[in-house]
Amino acid sequence: MLSIKPSDDPPDLAVPANEAALSGQSEGVAPAVRAPLWRRMFSKPVVGLDIGTSMMKAVVLERRRDGLALKRIACAETPPAALTNGVLSDSVAVSERLRALFNDYRIRATRIAVATGGEKVLCQTERLAWTSPEERLALIEQSVASTITYPIEGAAVAFEELEKAAGTEGVLFWVSAPLDHVDWLRETVSLSGRQAAIVDTEACALANAVAYNYQPAPNTASVLVHIGARKLVMGLLLGDRLDYARSAPIAAQRPGERPVSFSDRVLGLVDSYWDALSQRAKPLALGRLFVSGGPAEVSVIGEALHAQTGLAVTRVDPFRRISCPAAVDSGQLANEGRSTFAIAVGLALRAFEEL
């Protein structure tokens, strides 16, 4: 069984925090924890690792008396040879680069949090009615199977009960990712000499970073847009809770095609999801747009999104409520490319809750 909190113990179906999943595996994708992640913390440092198709980013956070602090921050280029048609495929090449990154930046922790992403990774809430835990599992399996584009047998699924109304109706949040994506991550991290103790989704990690640093008010609806070199992650935040997320590839410019700028390709993708986000937010109106990512065009895209949507746009600073001591090695990275590390920071926040 997959579990929201990976554990060697069998999940207890009566406890929402350890809900069972549907794939028959022991561990897998874990959606964002709904309770604020900063309430229960440990003093031991935790690591969030974002393995992107162009860059690998790692963040080590620790708890201090005056709050959270950055202990290490690191990045390295992803080996181009590790990609096949823009998708990471070479575990050995990636693991060797990870091992070098851990050694170069003196990251000692062996258990880390990582994220899976891509257009087959889905997150959303559902309002369902059930009379037993078994019926609840069956309903989630039906919902996932009708939404994903691959067989349910090949899906890693986890879910969390958000709200149980009077009677038998309730609200559930589920995530689904291809099992082979999750297995690839675990194998790759293991080859680097570490353990992927948590496998979350990129969207959930992004939501964690925004919720912790910006604390959106209840009864507000915000849009998340994370721009990578080859893909876009979009999500809907209701208050501080992720409600819905999708990812899509940013189409490459092909020879002979009419030139379309990177910014315009991103804006087109955002526009294609806008109606779905607006409908899911109702009766709330979309009120704020959080933009993050690494490409140099992120700031330009933020301005264009403001002009296109009329929403206030905030460039995400994942270290907004995290101190960055000057003595920290590579602390300059946290100042120059802050929003690049949004997913890694969100994973580290999740690790505080779990490890």
For each of the domains in the chain, give its residue range(s) and CATH number, in order of start. 16-215+318-354 (3.30.420.40)
Please tell me the distance from the alpha carbon of residue 107 to that of residue 193, in angstroms, as a whole number: 12
Neighbour tally for 13: CB within 10 Å? 15
**Average of pLDDT values for 96-102?**
96
Task: Please give the mean pLDDT across all residues of the chain.
Answer: 84
Least confident of 118-132, 204-218, 246-260, 270-284: 246-260
Percentages (nearest 5) of helix, strand, coil residues in the chain: 35, 30, 35
pTM, two decimals, is 0.87
Q: Look up residue 36 and give its DSSP letter.
A: -
What letters, b where the CB count within 10 A reaches 16 and e where it falls short, cover 242-258?
Answer: bbbbbbbbbeeeeeeee
pLDDT band for position 329 (cuts 50, 70, 90): low
User: How many helices (H) and strands (E) are present in the chain, helices listed first?
Assistant: 8, 16
